[in-house]
Amino acid sequence: MSSLYDVSEMLKQARSESKLSQEALASSAGVSRSTVARMETLARGDMSVLALVRLLEAAGYNLKLVKAGHERTVEDILNEQRSGKG
């Protein structure tokens, strides 16, 4: 399982790969730049799931649950079955 620190690092990586500044990401997600900075540094030791989802979506990512030890999501498997590949 990922720690909160890991999630924070993933958020930073998503922002970096999307070539967005904290300000640009915050603006696109409808949150303050300080919220982005706080979540990337875990300044309060926690983070809002709603803000995380909005920030990831603004960076072009989705938050999905993946069973530990698996790379594919349930959605991936269902899509493969629907297309006849599974």
The CATH number of residue 71's host domain is 1.10.260.40
Structural domain tally of the chain? 1
What pLDDT is attached to residue 86? 56
pLDDT per residue as tens, the chain (86 positions)? 578 898 999 999 999 999 999 999 999 999 999 999 999 999 888 888 999 999 999 999 988 877 777 777 777 777 788 887 65
The Cα–Cα gap between 26 and 22 comes to: 6
Quote the DSSP letter at residue 84.
Answer: T
What pLDDT is attached to residue 1? 52
SS3 state at 35: helix
Domain that holds residue 75: 4-82
Per DSSP, the chain holds a count of helices (H) and strands (E) of 5, 0
